[in-house]
Structure 1
Amino acid sequence: MGRAKNPVQAVGTTATIIKKLAELNGAGVTELSNHLNVTKGTVHNHLTTLEENELVVKDGDKFHLGLRFFEFGEQIKNKHKICEVGTPEVEKLAEKTGELGNILVEEHGRGIYLYRAKGENALSLDTGIGSRVYLHQTGLGKAILAHTPEKRVDEIIDEHSLKPSTKHTHSTRESLFEDLEQIRERGYALDMEERAEGIQCVAAPVITNDGTVRGAVSVAGPASRMRGDYLESKVSDMVMRAADVIGINLSYS
């Protein structure tokens, strides 16, 4: 991620307040001041300015993010062509497998879920559309990293580290890069309970004709169902075919 040569402190404070409001699902001036170690006067000034610009709403003593962010989110999602092109294919994956189909893209070294489709047996996970995850912890993220220039992968690791989520998460560069090489060779990535215990998935990168990785698609489900030949043969073939179709459609859209 690029660093501003002359960062504007007020903008940084506003961004921090917005992030904390999202994390706390709403908060008052005193609560935000305590969390952020910023004076109550400063917090109040930022919040009232955000309210005037319809970015937050006040409910009693608490402030919440406003629906303007929902509007922004829909506009941003619609700008990602992979979501429009990939939705039908991911819905087919969810229907055929009965599991959870996903589309994820990379931004600022993190993975962001753009779309999810639920099959009849799909699990309800702790991540949803808009959720951010560490790339090395997910099959989707690893599928993207496997086709990202090594220099950029190193930059992402330097910025975000290799934080473990479970005992199965890659925690060293050596193990991660070995896995990325295997992903390139076989065409798909596996998440073997690396982000969440009991959840496994298979993912494939979406690559356009110019060799650019535009994101990844996956199918995720409980380890009791997503295992063995079913995971690494049948589901992986379906996911790779879907990724190929999306990549071709993106190349000519």
Structure 2
Amino acid sequence: MSEIAEKNFQVPNLTRGLQILEYLRHCDEPVSMSALARELDYPLNSVMRIMKALDHYGYVQRAVGSKSYEMSDKLMHLARSQASQKNLFEASMGAMRQIRDHVGETVVLSIVSEGEGLILEQVQGLHAFRFVCEPGTRQMIHSSASTKAILAFRKEHEVDELLQRIDYPKLTEQTILSAEAMKRELEQVREQGYALDRAEALEGVNCVAVPIMDSSREARAAITVTGPANRLKLDQLDEVGEMMKVVCSQVSENLGYL
């Protein structure tokens, strides 16, 4: 790339922010903003604005009893999360295909993120008319089989706090409408080992979800099969759930669950 073209793609404050992080990464002790400006030959006002943003988003932190800054461990956690997510994908894909081949319907891998369900991946069903659940799709906590499956096997006090914070809009006649009803539902999920969505988010759509556990002995994700109620019928959901528990147990074992 030519020097002119390279300059056209640069964002000055972003470049400075990244270079500040690189500098701090090699420092054994916290560094003041004036020292950063001097060492990197940046205007002090620019350094102050950048450090305020980095501090706000948790990438740097002030040293105790000082006005100097050091790297936080956020980047390390992000790197670990990325590696952890890759392991989750690798462990889950075979089970998802196996479930899809057995049931014929679309199967998705989901997590709970920022108070919502989040679809990470899908294996599309075998029917000509099938559900497509694009990665990145968000799901409401109170109406999704996957979020129920995950929350049922998370720390109780954290789940209680979340259930008190979220809203409960009515999506269908079957939608759960209160924290108390959700708690009762999660207790049933813990007893049977799988969660159901009986047309609670969309009319005519049923889902079954099984938690994916890891070495923390908490649910890290969920694998869900979703299909139209005329194919994935209410009287079949428990049978599908039991089958999925067997298949998904291997995924949990591969992630360190004992």
Contact 1:77 1:114 in 2 (8 A): no
Per-residue deviation, 1:78:
6.3
Per-residue deviation, 1:141:
0.6
Aligned to 1:249: 254
Aligned to 1:67: none
Per-residue deviation, 1:238:
2.1
Aligned to 1:123: 130
Measure the CA separation in 1 of the matches of 2:89 and 2:138. 16
Contact 1:170 1:176 in 2 (8 A): yes
Aligned to 1:167: 173
Counterparts in 2 of 1:22-101, with a 5 A limit? 79-80=84-85, 81-101=87-107
Flag the 1:151–1:76 CA change in 2: closer, same or farther, 3 A. closer
Contact 1:204 1:240 in 2 (8 A): yes
Aligned to 2:245: 240
| 2:114 counterpart (97, 108, 111) | 108
Aligned to 2:195: 189
Q: TM-score, normalised on structure 2?
A: 0.63
Contact 1:208 1:248 in 2 (8 A): yes
Measure the CA separation in 2 of the matches of 1:185 and 1:165. 26
| 2:92 alignment partner AA | G
Counterparts in 2 of 1:143-222, with a 5 A limit? 143-222=149-228
Per-residue deviation, 1:83:
1.6
| 2:244 alignment partner AA | V
Query: When the two structures are aligned, how many residues end up with a matched partner?
Result: 176
Per-residue deviation, 1:229:
4.0
Measure the CA separation in 1 of the matches of 2:83 and 2:96. 16
Per-residue deviation, 1:123:
1.8
SS of 1:101's partner is: strand
What are structure 2's unaligned runs of at least 5 residues?
1-79
Flag the 1:77–1:96 CA change in 2: closer, same or farther, 3 A. farther
What is the CA deviation profile of residues 63-90 of structure 1, one whole-angstrom value per residue up to 9, with x for unaligned ones? xxxxxxxxxxxx9776512122101110
Per-residue deviation, 1:185:
0.5
Per-residue deviation, 1:131:
0.8
SS of 1:251's partner is: coil
Measure the CA separation in 1 of the matches of 2:170 and 2:250. 33
Q: Flag as ranges the 4+ runs of structure 1 deviating above 3 A.
A: 75-79
What is the CA deviation profile of residues 212-250 of structure 1, one whole-angstrom value per residue up to 9, with x for unaligned ones? 2111111111111212442211x1122112221110011
What is the CA deviation profile of residues 34-79 of structure 1, one whole-angstrom value per residue up to 9, with x for unaligned ones? xxxxxxxxxxxxxxxxxxxxxxxxxxxxxxxxxxxxxxxxx97765
Measure the CA separation in 2 of the matches of 1:184 and 1:84. 26
Measure the CA separation in 2 of the matches of 1:160 and 1:174. 12
Measure the CA separation in 2 of the matches of 1:99 and 1:150. 32
Aligned to 1:132: 138
Flag the 1:188–1:135 CA change in 2: closer, same or farther, 3 A. same
Identity %: 30
Structure with higher Rg: it is 2
Counterparts in 2 of 1:218-233, with a 5 A limit? 218-233=224-239
Contact 2:198 2:234 in 1 (8 A): no
Contact 1:208 1:247 in 2 (8 A): yes
Q: TM-score, normalised on structure 1?
A: 0.64
What are structure 1's unaligned runs of at least 5 residues?
1-74
